[in-house]
Amino acid sequence: MDEIPKIKKIRNSIVNLPNINDSIKNIIKLDDFESNENEANTEFNLQFRQFSKFSKESNIYRIQYRHKPCEEDLLYLLFALKYSCKELYNNKRLIMECIYKPFLCQKYEYDNFSVINNDNSNNLLNEHLKNFKGGVYDIKECLIGNKNCYIIAGYMLVLYQKDDFGEKNVLSNDYEHLITAVNIIYINKIIHIVTGTKSAIVRFYRVNSFHDVQYINSLFKKFSSPINYIFTSSKIDDINSHYFLIDEVSIQLWKNLGEEIIIKYNIEQKDKHKIICSDYIYDENIGEHKIVYADTNFQLHLLNIDDEKIFSFNKNKKLNSEILELNLFKKKQITSVKFYKSNNNKILRTLFIGNVDMILVYDLFQKTINSYFPLFDTIQFIEFYLYNSILYLFCSGTNGLHLLHFRP
């Protein structure tokens, strides 16, 4: 059974990144990660592009790590062994090979955080969003033909090519209908775009090519509050597409172009509670769709829906959620959640939880909090990047951006 990710036992394993501008405090997406190791200069660089909610900025950032072995710890250990175990102390080569390298020597340590060419080429970095009025509210990636693209949504809906932001296709430019969520679905292997708005309208577009996108239809009066999340489920068959639409008070599973609603789950409304944050993942190991959401009642809920239930679900049958126990943290408002499953295994075990003060690591098997790390910030966004057996967990809050280093 896979282990829960543990915080890496190094200096600066939790980094509060400095010089953070206001835009990066409301991150909506981190993307285009690039990793580069330079053995000659004993450096490691981690680079990423950042898109921020309510902002027209999407800067590129670089985190630099420098090779810094823990020499002080080694010297302290040698000093202790000299008086407690002289025979082991005399074999310094054994100490170097068996103790220093595997336990004390950290290959890289956080050194610097910078914005690439921010002073001289800010226009170049952000030119693609210069006329994107109102800022970005959601963004998804897709492959159109052989082109990697972004679908960026807000008061506008625009297609961009990832490697050439000069190439764009404005699909909608309606200041009266703020698009709060966007995603793609595949029907008969054709790409379709589905959007949800603040006014609770769902729209569908068919993508014939990058410059040929056709509006199909809309769903009206199916939701009572803004559509905040659209999660596309993993493909169950080659003909139908299934996706979850989540507003402030319900979670709905729809089929194809809004032709049929399969499941509708309403949250408790006796005290007018609302969904604060949510995340979705498909666990292919057991063929189960998992949705986690936090509400304004300080509770964390988990919905498990297997493939068979989707095909045979009776709309009149009630779907029940499981309340996850938060122990000592049950009275702290949860503000962000993120499922974690590493790329090289099929076991889903970990859920990262951000609240008004810290980040929690939740064990979905044991149904308990495994560990927690105070960040003294309201964590509104969680994203991770896995490289070379190190999990880089980005936690954005109202005060800044925090980077945690885990070893899965």
Q: Look up the CATH number of the domain holding residue 346.
A: 2.130.10.10
Confidence of residue 75 (pLDDT cuts 50, 70, 90): confident
pLDDT over threshold 70, residue 314: no
Same domain flag for 93 and 177: no
Total count of domains within the chain: 2
Q: Is residue 282 part of a domain?
A: yes
Do 181 and 268 lie in a common domain? yes
User: In this structure, are 209 and 289 located in the same domain?
Assistant: yes
Query: Tell me, what's the pLDDT at 9?
Result: 73
Q: Which two tokens stand for residue 245?
A: 């639409």
DSSP H or E stretch at residue 157: strand 156-161
What confidence tens digit (pLDDT) does each residue in 318-361 have? 678 899 999 889 899 999 999 998 766 667 899 999 999 999 99
Beta strands in 222-378 (DSSP E): 229-232, 242-246, 250-255, 260-266, 275-283, 288-295, 300-306, 322-324, 334-340, 350-355, 358-363, 368-374
Q: Quick one: CA dihedral 131, 135, 138, 140, positive or negative?
A: positive
Considering 79, 104, 129, which residue would you say is the last residue of a domain? 104
Domain assignment present for residue 202? The answer is: yes
In this model, does residue 377 exceed pLDDT 60?
A: yes
Instruction: Verify that 88 and 237 share a domain, yes or no.
Output: no
**Mean of pLDDT values over 166-170:** 91
Q: Are residues 128 and 76 in the same domain?
A: no
What distance lies between CA 67 and its chain's CA centroid? 28
Q: Is the pLDDT of residue 404 over 80?
A: yes
Q: Is residue 400 assigned to a domain?
A: yes
pLDDT at 118: 53
Q: What is the mean pLDDT of residues 244-249?
A: 95
**Measured distance CA(249)–CA(296) in Å, rounded:** 11
The verdict on residue 237 lying in a domain is: yes
Q: Which residues pair with 158 in a beta bridge?
A: 152, 170
Residues 220 and 97 in one domain: no
Q: Encode pLDDT of 81-122 as tens digits.
A: 778 878 877 877 777 677 666 666 667 888 888 887 555 555
Quote the mean pLDDT of the chain: 86
Same domain, 63 and 156: yes
Q: Please compute the mean of the pLDDT values over residues 29-37 and round it to a whole number.
A: 92
Question: What is the residue range of 91's domain?
Answer: 71-104
Give Dmax over CA atoms of the chain in angstroms. Answer: 80
If asked whether residues 297 and 335 sit together in one domain, one would say yes
One domain for residues 79 and 152: no
Whether 199 and 78 share a structural domain:
no
Lowest mean pLDDT among 2-6, 206-210, 294-298: 2-6
269 lies in the same domain as 324: yes
Closest by Cα among 367, 369, 358, 350 to 333: 358
Mean pLDDT of 267-290: 86
pLDDT band for 246, please (50, 70, 90 cuts). very high
393 has pLDDT over 60 = yes
Least-confidence region, from 139-148, 176-185, 306-315: 306-315
Rounded CA separation 264/241 (Å): 17
Residue 346 inside a domain? The answer is: yes
Across residues 26-40, what is the average pLDDT?
A: 89
Mean pLDDT score, 131-160: 92
The average pLDDT across 305-323 equals 73
Q: Are residues 61 and 185 in the same domain?
A: yes
The tokens describing 80, both together, are: 């202790």
So what's the pLDDT on residue 239? 67
Residue 1 within a domain: no
CA torsion sign for 188, 194, 200, 201 is negative
pTM, full prediction: 0.88
Distance CA 353, CA 270 (A): 25
pLDDT tens figures, 187-218: 888 999 999 999 999 999 999 999 999 999 99
Contact 297, 269 (CB under 8 A): no
What's the pLDDT score for residue 366?
Answer: 92
φ/ψ (deg, to 5) at 96: -65, -45
Q: How far is Cα 203 from Cα 182, in angstroms, rounded to an integer? A: 10
How large is the average pLDDT for residues 5-21?
Answer: 83
